Amino acid sequence: MSMQGVKNEEKIELSKEEQKRVRARSMALLGSIIKPVRHRLWVSLLLVTLSQGLRVALPGVIAIVIDRALPAAVKGDFTLLWWLVGGYLVGAIIASALIAVFVQYAARINQDIMLGLRRRLFAHTQKLSIEFHETYTSGRVISRQTNDLDSIMELLNSGGNEMIAGILFMIFTAVAMIVLDAQSFLFVLISFIPLWFLTRWFQKRTRTNYRKTRVASAKLIVHFVETMTGIRAVKAFRKEAQNQVKYADLVEDYRDVNAKVIQLFGIFDPGLIFIGRVTAAAVLLFGGLRVIEGSLGIGVLLSCILYVRSFYDPMEQLAMFYNSVQSANSGLEKISGVLEEEPSVPEPETSTPLTEPHGHIEFNDVQFAYSNGTEILPNFSLDIPAGQTIALVGTTGAGKSTLAKLVARFYDPVKGEVKLDGIDLRELSDVDLRRAVVMVTQEAYLFSGTVADNISLGKPNATREEVESSAKAVGAHEFIMALPDGYDTDVNKRGGRVSAGQRQLISFARAFIADPAVLILDEATASLDIPSERLVQHGLKTLLADRTAIIIAHRLSTISIADRVLVMEHGRITEDDKPAVLIAGTGKFAKMHKAWRDSLV
């Protein structure tokens, strides 16, 4: 199986080739987020090196005090003792100060790394095409932005500092033991054999289990987001109990996976402690025999025991650090997968400028199929002159919305070309295309902020007069003024809530203030009641003048304002004429219109 992008990201057991590819991708991401702060990392490394060097030197001073300074003091010479005690205190103060500076400096670096990664992930997720977001659920996106980023932050904030300090401390301790007494250090080297087997065993088992925790966590978030997003449907169909059972199962799976990880630590951490204690006992036993023989000073033995005990302390911290590493590694795998995804409709490297869009649209031998292989448009051609309003009708799955998505360039055709004013959409910059083409869907989304803020999204530099004029044009001004603070009402605060129809009118105003050359209405009036629809009909007649409009609607009252009606079936146009001509005929549109008229009686 391929591990390209987010494909198969929930797979637990990976082959060696897949592991190698995912690891390389994760390390490449790690390198890229560290690169901007690499010079500051060298400064951080210098600080921790000096602090750990001083920390390791202090037990060595104790050996000199016991073996040299104290015998001299017994004889009445306190000079060396005072110097060594003073040096010990000064060294301890400097080491503590350096550690304090290192921790604060490293924390600032870590926050800058996370800031860059958060911005990068958010920007890239927005950049990805509609096709990605239609298959990759919002719950997964949230999981990447929260759990996975948090695991990396935890590694940087705690584990990273401890790892660097711990490794340096162990290296300096090893050097100090070799200088003081190489024979004692041999016991430490021998202890590496059981340590290697223990660590290897732990590594293999935790890698898989941490991957399971990330998958289980993502499933929890996805289910929660889907439930809360669709809470009206949950209430309407009494799905609370069913959802609760499913959520309980997911929580239990998550608990079980985490319990397995904790069990592994319950073996690994005591194993490290046991090996350290056995090594210290061995050094004490054989060192004591050498002290009795007179071949080893008691001060050196004491220092070696202190070094052995402190040598294994960082290993216990490294065990916890490895916990963070495994968790962060799973997060890196998921995030790097998202960042590896490329937009399916990329912006051209060299774009063709569209100075004054007129709205002439052409479909030339277009073929289109979704990624699952379902063909929607087999061989489609269509010409829509600038300024014409067309209505698309047909059964569900006929290809109406797909046609609209191709015009908006949410997707690119598999074959053929879609042109705007004679320019292939794939040659236009995103700025020019979004300025020329605007789509209004049935799902009218309002962002946090005021009503005026939401309308001015269509034209960020719009004046209040322009905002109000666009609202008046679509029949939204009256109900907006009835809100607690009018156009300054926060749509998410108590009293500022608006109905589905009112949200749609605000989205209409947002689209109209953008003044596009091409306006697409995809079932945009479906959520409006009859009075609201009549208001919009009046606004549409005025605002659609001299612009190209594509209207997809099942309500024939909305279609009546069109210059031309296209009836689609299975990705082909079966009828194409003025509404009056089709109504007078005997085709499918005539039958649809008759059924609609009869329903009004």
Coil vs helix vs strand at 270: helix
- Ranges of each domain in the chain: 22-340, 361-600
- Which residue carries 């004889």 as its tokens? 75
- Which residue carries 């409009």 as its tokens? 549
Q: Pick from 488, 408, 185, 214: which is nearest to 327 by CA?
A: 214
Report which secondary-structure segment, H or E, holds 574: strand 572-577
Stretch 287-299: mean pLDDT: 83
Backbone angles phi, psi at 258, to 5 degrees: -65, -35
Residue 381: band (very low, low, confident or very high) from pLDDT cuts 50, 70, 90: very high
SS3 content of the chain, % helix, strand, coil (to 5): 65, 10, 20
Q: Evaluate if residue 313 carries a pLDDT over 60.
A: yes
How far, in Å, CA of 155 to CA of 168, rounded? 18
Beta-bridge partner residues of 548: 518
Among 21-35, 213-227, 304-318, the minimum mean pLDDT is found in 304-318
How far, in Å, CA of 477 to CA of 469, rounded? 8
Alpha helical stretches, state H, 458-514: 464-473, 477-481, 500-514
Stretch 114-121: mean pLDDT: 89
Q: Evaluate if residue 214 carries a pLDDT over 60.
A: yes
What sign does the CA torsion over 401, 407, 411, 412 have? positive
Task: Dump pLDDT digits (tens) for 435-450.
Answer: 899 988 877 778 888 8
pLDDT at 564: 92
> What is the token pair recorded at 145?
């932005």
Q: Evaluate if residue 581 carries a pLDDT over 70.
A: yes
Stretch 28-49: mean pLDDT: 86
Q: Pick from 412, 358, 435, 389: which is nearest to 565 by CA?
A: 389
**Residues 206/212/216/222 CA torsion (nearest 10 deg):** 120
Query: For 487, which DSSP code?
Result: G
- Which residue carries 């991957």 as its tokens? 211
Contact (Cβ atoms closer than 8 angstroms) between residue 219 and residue 250: yes
Q: Is 26 exposed, middle or buried (0-12, 13-18, 19+ CB in 10 A)?
A: buried
**% residues pLDDT > 90 (the chain):** 14
Report which secondary-structure segment, H or E, holds 364: strand 361-369
pLDDT at 532: 66
Task: Dump pLDDT digits (tens) for 217-271.
Answer: 878 888 887 888 777 677 766 778 888 888 888 888 888 888 887 888 788 878 8
Q: Evaluate if residue 6 carries a pLDDT over 90.
A: no
- Strands of 564-569's sheet in order across: 437-441, 518-522, 548-552, 389-394, 564-569, 572-577
pLDDT at 323: 66
> What is the DSSP pairing of strand 564-569 with strand 389-394?
parallel
Residue 3: band (very low, low, confident or very high) from pLDDT cuts 50, 70, 90: low
Contact (Cβ atoms closer than 8 angstroms) between residue 113 and residue 33: yes
Read off the amino acid at residue 221. I
Q: Evaluate if residue 538 carries a pLDDT over 80.
A: no
Q: Which range is most confident: 123-137, 230-244, 309-323?
A: 123-137
- In sequence order, what are the residues at sequence separation of 6 or more whose Cβ sits closer than 8 angstroms to the Cβ of residue 190? 279
Other Cβ atoms within 10 Å of 557 Cβ, number: 14
Report which secondary-structure segment, H or E, holds 57: helix 38-64
> What is the DSSP pairing of strand 548-552 with strand 564-569?
unpaired
Report which secondary-structure segment, H or E, holds 522: strand 518-522
Q: Evaluate if residue 339 carries a pLDDT over 70.
A: yes
Sequence length of the chain is: 601
**% residues pLDDT > 70 (the chain):** 91
pLDDT at 316: 64
pLDDT at 149: 87
Q: Evaluate if residue 543 carries a pLDDT over 70.
A: no
**Residues 66/71/74/80 CA torsion (nearest 10 deg):** -80
> What is the token pair recorded at 37?
């702060």
Other Cβ atoms within 10 Å of 595 Cβ, number: 10
Contact (Cβ atoms closer than 8 angstroms) between residue 261 and residue 206: yes
pLDDT at 494: 43
Question: Of residues 537 and 510, which shows the higher confidence score?
Answer: 510
Q: Evaluate if residue 462 carries a pLDDT over 50.
A: yes
> Helix 298-340 vs helix 16-34: angle between axes, to the nearest 10 degrees?
100
Task: Dump pLDDT digits (tens) for 502-529.
Answer: 888 888 888 888 889 999 988 877 666 6
Query: For 414, which DSSP code?
Result: S
Alpha helical stretches, state H, 128-160: 130-135, 138-143, 149-154
Contact (Cβ atoms closer than 8 angstroms) between residue 517 and residue 547: yes
What is the CATH topology of the domain spanning 22-340?
Answer: ABC transporter transmembrane region fold (1.20.1560)
> What is the token pair recorded at 546?
């001299």
What's the chain's average pLDDT? 83
CA 136 to chain centre: 11
Q: According to CATH, what is the number of the domain 361-600?
A: 3.40.50.300
